[in-house]
Amino acid sequence: MKYYIFALSFIAADQLSKFLVRTYLDVGESVSVLGDFFRLTHIQNRGAAFSMFSGQRLLLILVPVVMVIAALLVLSKMKHAHWSLYTAWTLILAGGLGNLIDRIVFGQVTDMLDFSIFPPVFNLADIGITVGCALAVIYILLGDRLKQHD
């Protein structure tokens, strides 16, 4: 249950950050947070990562729907899995839903986190998906060792 509460909290934070950016920054507008290192930049992304599949709205909705259903099924069946695997799937679920909400409601995803050392502008949902996938890879590589230290 705590993982679903975490997922809902993550989705709420993602949606709130996107709402604030859409409300207070025009598309293309950028505000310095930490000099040139970190800026909030309002971007509307009609594609996936790096704007791939731009204009393929149906595909960009169907694939995340399938992934969200898969994440829900996996989470419901993992009664005794290691916390890292639960966390991985929860982050993937929350991030997927956060961006899916944008695609369904607005037809595009709001991005705003802009670091000078990392070219694409992204959002909290993207972070959830990326960290979730990284945790899943770590679990796959170290799963047996992680279970021994539970």
Query: pTM for this structure?
Result: 0.87
Q: What is the mean pLDDT of residues 29-39?
A: 96
pLDDT per residue over 92-134, tens digit each?
999 999 999 999 999 999 999 999 998 899 999 999 999 999 9
Looking at the DSSP bridge assignments, the partners of residue 111 are 43
Distance, in Å, from the CA atom of 65 to the CA atom of 97, rounded to the nearest integer, reads: 8
Q: Are strands 30-34 and 118-122 parallel, antiparallel or unpaired?
A: unpaired
- Residues recognised as catalytic: 111, 126
Query: Residue 116: what pLDDT?
Result: 94
